[in-house]
Amino acid sequence: MSKSGLFAHFGSKQELQLAAVERAREIFAAEVVTPALDAPAGMPRLRALLDAWLAYFDRGVFAGGCFFIAASSEFDDRGGPVRDAVGAAMAAWVSFLEQLCGEAVESGDLGAADPRQLAFELNAIGIAVNWELRLRRDPEALTRAVTAFERVLARDGAG
């Protein structure tokens, strides 16, 4: 399909980009978030989320790695609706991660850990995994991520 034909279907480049962000949200939710919700609340659900996230990276669901990590890098310094949509998707992801960390703290699985700090650290590990897999093509990236997740969780009482 030609560019003009593609844009004609969506009306503008921006509408196409917004549709891509929304579809990527749906795919990410189906691949990572929904499977984790089947696990019991607390540490089992948090671990299920982290496992599903690593499996998402491993399967290369998006050809260029994690859509949202790539889009965040591309749009973080721009203004406008596409940047806002990417930012909203990332804010929702980190908020969900923080929520699951909070549930694990409330269940007693993580001691007195700060859910916001814990979500920050776990998300940072995920960003690093994407970078290691995509840019450095490190075959040990997923194993290293598991080790990093375990260290963060063990440090905060989930050992």
As a 3-state breakdown, the chain gives helix, strand, coil percent values, each rounded to 5, of 75, 0, 25
Residue 72 CA, distance from chain mean position: 11
d(CA 138, CA 124): 17
Segments of the chain with pLDDT less than 50:
none
Whole-angstrom CA distances from 7 to 11, 17, 18, 20, 24 are 5, 10, 12, 13, 18
Give residue 156's pLDDT.
63
Q: What is the pLDDT of residue 158?
A: 53
Distance between first and last Cα of the chain: 53
Question: What does R_g of the chain's alpha carbons equal in angstroms?
Answer: 17
- In the numeric block, which tokens belong to residue 119? 């979500």
Residue 134's pLDDT is: 94
Domains, in order of start, for the chain: 13-158 (1.10.357.10)
pLDDT for 6 equals: 62
